[in-house]
Amino acid sequence: MKKQARSTPSKQWTQPAAVPLVRVRRAAGAVSRGWLIAGGRAIPVALGRGGILANKREGDGGTPRGTFRPLRLWWRADRGPRPRTALPIRAITADDAWCEDPASRHYNRPIRRSSAGEGDRLMRDDHLYDLIIEIDHNTRPRIAGRGSAVFLHLARDNFGPTAGCVAMTRPNLMRLLARLGPRTRIAIG
């Protein structure tokens, strides 16, 4: 009789395979609430106060309709361990901000805050930006006034509307991070 080979489980931690597509849809009857569907799981999200808009403009409070790629994770090292993800990671520093000025050549890009304090500060007192997934909305080409600083980030306790981002609870964002890769597509709308 032939002996059967025993299979031994790998002792190495393996990251789950990246999901190819993440969908974000508006919830029925709620402009600023929605659902994010990834890998067969649906999680509640907060959307922009203007709902999902096809013609996104700076300051309209809308979450842009379209298909985007996750570019990198911005992470507050002082507020939690480094998350597991296949995305590039950058630690947020006190000088990090995002340019929201359509007249600036740095519009919709990360910048270093000057003493004048321009830009949307990434190191906030609240926890909304403890984890930020940067997406490629309005990046190639960048068009002044078509919207900036659209991220996936943490939601307010009351799941209040965002300024145009997609927000969720920390446990759900952590689960999502483990399943995102550079080739994942995020379809909003």
Cβ-count burial of 2 within 10 angstroms (0-12 exposed, 13-18 middle, 19+ buried)?
exposed
The sheet that has 185-188: what strands, in order across it?
Answer: 66-68, 185-188, 21-27, 30-38, 41-46, 166-168, 151-154, 131-135, 70-75, 89-91
Which uninterrupted H or E stretch holds 176? helix 170-179
Judge whether 153 counts as a catalytic residue: yes
Catalytic machinery residues:
153, 165
